[in-house]
């Protein structure tokens, strides 16, 4: 698919802001930092069928930082999983779009997440199951049948890496040689209580992931083309060892949202209609700049 990825990302940023708009509050910071990644995944990378959300052979996305749900919902609506009108129902009573991703409520959501760290393990289960179902590694599949093993994409946060379960899972993923697992770590440097370096410093995450046996790349997480390139390089780090892949996204929490960016406490915030109007105008302007 030949896509103008920066434009898709700019459009998704605007739509994600609109998801929050009606509520007046939400997990704005962490949703904004993964917009480019979601735009890339849902525009040409993931093999999916929006008209058949439960297609068994689809690629899967686990957004382990489940609070980025609003950005995921905007991406799903853009791909036609449901109408954009639904986006306004975020967190309303009876909604199918809750704060945190829920596979039983939202078409296109592949795993329920929200309790941090847990999406790592469930994504590993999915990737392992995909390989078992396919009966072999991507290489053997492509050689024999001209098909490929479906992939699981996993998004974790850098603050989430405080959770021990993340590291339990990464150890198993490498041990099991899950070369169909591609993990993104949203390295925005912030967690709920402030800057990671002040709350619980995770140190050099890329170094740690590599030490855990992942083919690790670091990219500008707000450069959609760079993300796409990293995904196409994923799994090619060491063909003999067949290791899982990690893409560390250098991001800014709240990126592109005028009232959230550059704030220390922007994990879950409230905003005024005026602030949102300003943010929407800025996002619209970004679309214009990318289109030009």
Partner 1 sequence: MSVTIKNVLQAEEKMMRDTYCRVLTELAGKDQNIMALDADLMSSSGMKPFMKAFPDRFVNCGIAEANMVGVAAGLSAMGYVPFAHTFGTFATRRVCDQIFMSAAYAKLNVRIIGTDPGVCAAYNGGTHMPLEDMAVLRAIPEMILIEPTDSVMLENLLPQIAGQRGVYYIRLNRKNAVGVYEAGSAFTIGKGAVLRDGKDVTLFASGIMVAETLEAVKLLEEQGVSARVVNLFTWKPIDAELIVESAKQTGAVVTCENHNVVGGLGSAVAEVLVKNRPVPVEMIGVQDEFGEVGPEDYLRGRFNLTAVDIAAAAMRAVKRKP
Please check whether residue 282 is in contact with residue 26, taking contact to mean a CB–CB distance below 8 angstroms.
no
180 binds partner 1 (CB under 8 A): no
Q: What residues numbered 41-60 form the site for partner 1, per CB under 8 A? A: 56
198 binds partner 1 (CB under 8 A): no
176 binds partner 1 (CB under 8 A): yes
Q: How many whole angstroms separate alpha carbon 72 and alpha carbon 54?
A: 17
Please pick, from the candidates 121, 225, 263, 284, the single residue that binds partner 1 as defined by CB under 8 A. 121
Least distance CB 119 / partner 1 (angstroms): 8
Stretch that binds partner 1, among 34-42, 104-112, 221-229, 274-282 (CB under 8 A): 104-112
Stretch that binds partner 1, among 29-37, 42-50, 106-114, 243-251 (CB under 8 A): 106-114
Q: What is the DSSP letter of 109?
A: -
Tokens found for residue 149: 């093993």
99 binds partner 1 (CB under 8 A): no
3-state secondary structure of 69: helix
Least distance CB 289 / partner 1 (angstroms): 40
Exposure class string for 113-136: b at 16+ Cβ within 10 A, else e = bbebbbbbbbbbebbbebbeebee
* Nearest alpha-carbon partner for 81 in 114, 102, 54: 54
120 binds partner 1 (CB under 8 A): yes
Please check whether residue 22 is in contact with residue 84, taking contact to mean a CB–CB distance below 8 angstroms.
no
Please pick, from the candidates 45, 61, 126, 183, the single residue that binds partner 1 as defined by CB under 8 A. 126
3 binds partner 1 (CB under 8 A): no
Rg of the chain in Å (alpha carbons): 18
Q: How many whole angstroms separate alpha carbon 168 and alpha carbon 95?
A: 34
Tokens found for residue 90: 């975020």
Query: In the complex with partner 1, which residue's Cβ is closer, 168 or 220?
Result: 168
Tokens found for residue 142: 């492509």
Please pick, from the candidates 5, 14, 61, 111, the single residue that binds partner 1 as defined by CB under 8 A. 111
96 binds partner 1 (CB under 8 A): no
Please pick, from the candidates 26, 138, 157, 169, the single residue that binds partner 1 as defined by CB under 8 A. 169
Neighbours of 109 (CB within 10 A): 27
172 binds partner 1 (CB under 8 A): yes
What is the phi/psi pair of residue 30, to 5°? -75, -15
Size of the site for partner 1 (CB under 8 A): 33
Please pick, from the candidates 99, 106, 112, 180, the single residue that binds partner 1 as defined by CB under 8 A. 112
Distance from the Cα of residue 156 to its chain's centroid? 7
Stretch that binds partner 1, among 138-146, 161-169, 215-223, 281-289 (CB under 8 A): 161-169
Least distance CB 231 / partner 1 (angstroms): 21
The number of residues in the chain equals 292
Write out the residues near partner 1 by the rule CB under 8 A.
Answer: 56, 103-104, 110-115, 117-130, 132-133, 164-165, 168-169, 171-172, 175-176
């Amino acid at each position: 698919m030949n896509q103008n990825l920066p434009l898709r990302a700019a459009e998704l940023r605007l739509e994600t802001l609109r998801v929050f708009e009606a509520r007046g509050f939400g997990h704005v910071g962490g949703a904004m930092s993964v917009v480019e990644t979601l735009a890339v995944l849902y525009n040409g990378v993931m093999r999916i069928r929006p008209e058949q959300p439960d297609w068994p052979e689809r690629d899967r996305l686990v957004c382990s930082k489940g609070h980025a749900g609003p950005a995921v919902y905007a991406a799903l609506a853009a791909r036609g999983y449901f109408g954009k009108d639904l986006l306004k129902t975020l967190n309303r009573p009876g909604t199918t779009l809750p704060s945190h991703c829920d596979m039983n409520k939202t078409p296109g959501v592949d795993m329920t997440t929200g309790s941090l760290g847990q999406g790592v393990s469930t994504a590993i289960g999915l990737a392992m199951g995909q390989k078992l179902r396919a009966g072999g590694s991507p290489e053997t599949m492509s050689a024999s049948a001209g098909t490929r093993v479906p992939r699981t994409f996993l998004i974790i946060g850098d603050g989430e890496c405080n959770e021990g379960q993340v590291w339990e899972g990464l150890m198993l993923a490498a041990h099991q040689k899950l070369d169909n697992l591609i993990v993104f770590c949203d390295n925005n440097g912030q967690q709920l209580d402030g800057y990671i370096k002040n709350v619980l410093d995770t140190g050099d995450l890329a170094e740690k992931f590599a030490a855990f046996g992942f083919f690790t790349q670091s990219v500008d997480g707000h450069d959609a083309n760079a993300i796409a390139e990293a995904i196409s390089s994923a799994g090619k780090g060491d063909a003999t060892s067949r290791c899982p892949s990690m893409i560390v996204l250098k991001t800014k929490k709240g990126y592109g949202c005028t009232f959230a960016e550059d704030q220390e406490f922007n994990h879950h915030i409230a905003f005024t209609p005026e602030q949102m109007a300003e943010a929407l105008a800025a996002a619209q302007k970004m679309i214009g700049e990318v289109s030009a």
